[in-house]
Copies of this chain bind each other. A is one copy, B any other.
């Protein structure tokens, strides 16, 4: 395994299975013991060209819990970009202020461009519809905690699989672990063809279905994502699919599922996951959200060479 020090985190595809497992193991230790002060004197720049409270606060809390400091901005409005500065210039300047950059940008490829322009490490916190790799580490960590293992699981992906970047990344990552995958979505929101081809290259066994009723009893993990109204040209079409991909306790009671099924959701949710689900044994999405801290602490510490 190559060194992870100074590594950029742009796509989950950049990490081997061995590296992923190593990060997850360290995250477990981090959650148990914490490591205050190991990043004392280090500065993280949180560059959020597009708002994302949860991700921003999660990186900020992780850095500060390890004794590091955070600078940054959380919207385009106050940046030099409004004066016409290029992203490349912005990051080349800010590189001189900090030890690591966390970037959220509305353009696909912005993170790779940034990493190629500067010499300090860059973490992609979401760029366009493409990658959000630290969320995938968090998802894998949550699954491993919930099931004990990552190998040989049957995983359902429910909701918007066309634009849902967290589902794409997680599917890629689970390809390392011999997962059987069910993609459950309306036909108009199927997983894009190039993702499919990538999964086939990796010999993943997958199935596309329209409804959770067809496959619920097979699943060890159900990964839900929101269907966004904005994706539909026709509101009637939206209203039609919306109800089908909504979970609640009473719907679960009518479904045949394994007792130890665990349900993840990257959050925020709107109405696709009813509050009545929160107290079921299936729900692990709040644990998933909280796992953002130990996993991001670990990634920061490893990349900055502190562990």
Contact = CB atoms under 8 A, between A and B. Distances in A.
Interface of A: 36, 40-41, 43, 45, 48, 51-54, 56-58, 60-61, 64-65, 69, 71-75, 77-80, 82-85, 88-90, 92-98, 267-270, 275, 286, 289-290, 292-293
Given A51-B79, A60-B71, 6 more contacts: A51-B78, A53-B80, A57-B72, A61-B98, A85-B270, A89-B267
Nearest to A229: B84
Contact of A93 (B36, B88, B286): B286
Contacts of A96: 286, 289-290, 292-293
Could you say which of A82, A84, A93 has the most chain B C-beta atoms within 10 Å of its C-beta?
A: A93
A77 B74 CA distance: 10
Contacts of A58: 97
Contacts of A97: 57-58, 61, 290, 292-293
Contacts of A88: 275
Chain A interface main SS type: helix
Nearest to A83: B268
A157 to B, nearest CB: 20
B64 A270 contact: no
A190 B40 CA distance: 48
A84 to B, nearest CB: 4
A225 B293 CA distance: 43
A113 B98 CA distance: 33
